């Protein structure tokens, strides 16, 4: 097997094993109802994590995701409460703002040669602050169109449902996989992760690619914000705190190298499922504190970082002896 598939395989094996363990204790976890809920509950995180995957593959980081989600939610709530704009138009507006916001961060990172960490950290405070400017209260969204959207679902055998937002997440992952592996842009993203200087020498349009990557991450954070507002039917400026960290976790557990250049969008999907599964298990158990989710995910993350180091080390020493 090629070494680049190793982390992904490990993730899949861990997922299947832990799923089997959960099923042995609570057979109901296997039901389509649980699976459908798992997708719905993690839809916003999954969509944002696809954007994060591209950012990390290119060797960057985007800390603004959680704030952009909150901003989008508040923005939608305020617009729908105070104006007669149709939600679809409001969605388009929100996506546009989020995309431009991401593109702007990408442009700053590229043209001012600033570390992505700092630029997106500033973006994180800025977006969160803008959400507070719009409203400091949690605003419920009562627009009838929201109800209509929530009514859409695909019924699975066994009573489970794939909701609109769960399905949207699956679609985003599918498109993400296609972009990563079947477009020149996708290869350019990996190229940046392999080394910006070399990529530039080989003719990769570094500036355009960087801006597109952060624009894509912004777009998906905006979409995630829309999904989040559908999920909660509200907009609140304190919502989605730390979601960027959950997204990074999903990406790393999914086998993507934090230093960039190696990994899979599909791996991030498994990473999301693993996180969702742990939460579901704790819900089923009922007596465990929900902090156990954090503890388990922390341990998993640690194991994965160690594993990645091991793989990098092994492939280096192999090369040396080759």
Partner 1 sequence: MQPNGENLLSATRIDKVFPGARALDKVDFHLRRGEVHALLGENGAGKSTLVKCLTGAYRRDGGTILLDGVEVDPRDTFNAQKLGIGTVYQEVNLLPNLSVAENLFLGRQPRRFGLVDVGAMNRQARALLDDYELDLDVTRALDSYSVAIQQVVAIARAVDLSGKVLILDEPTASLDAHEVEMLFRIVRRLKARGLGIVFITHFLEQVYEISDRITVLRNGQLVGTRETATLERRDLISMMIGRELAAEIRSAREGQVVAGPVRYRFENYGRKGHIAPFDLDIRAGEVVGIAGLLGSGRTETAEILFGAHRADSGMAEVDGRAVQLSSPRRAIAHRFGFCPEDRKTAGIVGDLSVRENIVLALQARRGWTRPLSRTEQNRIADHYIRALDIRTADREKPIRLLSGGNQQKAILARWLATEPEFLILDEPTRGIDVGAHAEIVRLIEGLREKGMSLMVISSEIEELVAYSTRIVVLRDRQHVAALEGNRITADQIIEAIASANERGAA
Chain residues in the site for partner 1 (CB under 8 A): 2-4, 178, 181-184, 186-188, 190-191, 193-195, 198-199, 201-204, 261-262, 315, 318-319, 322
| Geometric angle at alpha carbon 145, from 142 and 149, rounded to 5° | 110
For the chain, what percentages of helix, strand and coil (3-state, to nearest 5) are there? 75, 5, 20
Least CB distance to partner 1 at residue 285 (A): 41
- C-beta of 65 vs 199, nearer to partner 1: 199
| Geometric angle at alpha carbon 170, from 166 and 176, rounded to 5° | 140
- C-beta of 194 vs 235, nearer to partner 1: 194
Query: Looking up tokens 């995630």, which residue turns up?
Result: 224
- C-beta of 65 vs 172, nearer to partner 1: 172
Least CB distance to partner 1 at residue 284 (A): 40
- C-beta of 24 vs 322, nearer to partner 1: 322
How far is residue 170's CA from residue 183's CA, in Å, rounded to a whole number? 19
Could you say which DSSP state residue 156 is in? P
- C-beta of 195 vs 207, nearer to partner 1: 195
Least CB distance to partner 1 at residue 100 (A): 25
Least CB distance to partner 1 at residue 169 (A): 22
Packing angle, helices 43-57 and 206-232, rounded to 10 = 170
Q: Are 33 and 159 in contact (CB under 8 A)?
A: yes
Least CB distance to partner 1 at residue 58 (A): 11
Least CB distance to partner 1 at residue 7 (A): 13
Least CB distance to partner 1 at residue 195 (A): 6
- C-beta of 48 vs 180, nearer to partner 1: 180
- C-beta of 204 vs 272, nearer to partner 1: 204
Strands 139-140 and 234-235, by their bridges, are antiparallel
Least CB distance to partner 1 at residue 314 (A): 12
**Two tokens, residue 111:** 């043209």
- C-alpha dihedral, 213 to 215 to 220 to 222, nearest 10°: 160
How far is residue 27's CA from residue 240's CA, in Å, rounded to a whole number? 31
- C-beta of 51 vs 260, nearer to partner 1: 260
Which three-class secondary structure state does DSSP give residue 162? strand
How far is residue 180's CA from residue 170's CA, in Å, rounded to a whole number? 15
Q: Are 146 and 228 in contact (CB under 8 A)?
A: no
């Amino acid at each position: 097997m090629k070494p680049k598939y190793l982390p992904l395989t490990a993730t899949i094996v861990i997922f299947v094993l832990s799923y089997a363990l959960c099923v042995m204790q609570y057979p109901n976890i296997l039901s389509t109802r649980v699976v459908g809920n798992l997708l719905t509950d993690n839809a916003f995180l999954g969509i944002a994590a696809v954007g994060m995957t591209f950012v990390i593959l290119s060797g960057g980081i985007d800390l603004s995701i959680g704030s952009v989600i909150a901003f989008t939610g508040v923005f939608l709530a305020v617009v729908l409460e105070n104006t007669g704009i149709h939600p679809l138009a409001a969605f388009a507006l929100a996506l546009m703002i989020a995309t431009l916001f991401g593109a702007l961060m990408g442009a700053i990172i590229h043209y001012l040669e600033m570390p992505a960490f700092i630029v997106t950290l500033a973006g994180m405070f800025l977006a969160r602050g803008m959400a507070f400017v719009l409203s400091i209260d949690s605003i419920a969204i009562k627009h009838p169109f929201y109800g209509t959207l929530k009514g859409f679902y695909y019924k699975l055998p066994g009573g489970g449902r794939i909701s609109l937002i769960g399905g949207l997440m699956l679609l985003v992952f599918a498109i993400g996989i296609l972009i990563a592996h079947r477009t020149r842009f996708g290869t350019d993203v990996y190229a940046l992760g392999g080394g910006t200087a070399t990529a530039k020498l080989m003719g990769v349009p570094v500036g355009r690619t960087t801006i597109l990557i952060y624009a894509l991450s912004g777009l998906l954070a905006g979409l995630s914000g829309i999904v989040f507002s559908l999920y909660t039917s509200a907009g609140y400026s304190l919502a989605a705190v730390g979601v960027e960290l959950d997204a990074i976790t999903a990406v790393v557990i999914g086998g993507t190298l934090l230093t960039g250049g190696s990994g899979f969008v599909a791996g991030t999907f498994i990473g999301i499922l693993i996180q969702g599964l742990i939460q579901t298990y704790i819900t089923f158990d009922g007596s465990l504190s929900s902090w156990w989710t954090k503890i388990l995910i922390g341990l998993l993350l640690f194991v994965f970082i160690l594993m990645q180091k091991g793989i990098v080390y092994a492939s280096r020493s192999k090369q040396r002896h080759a």
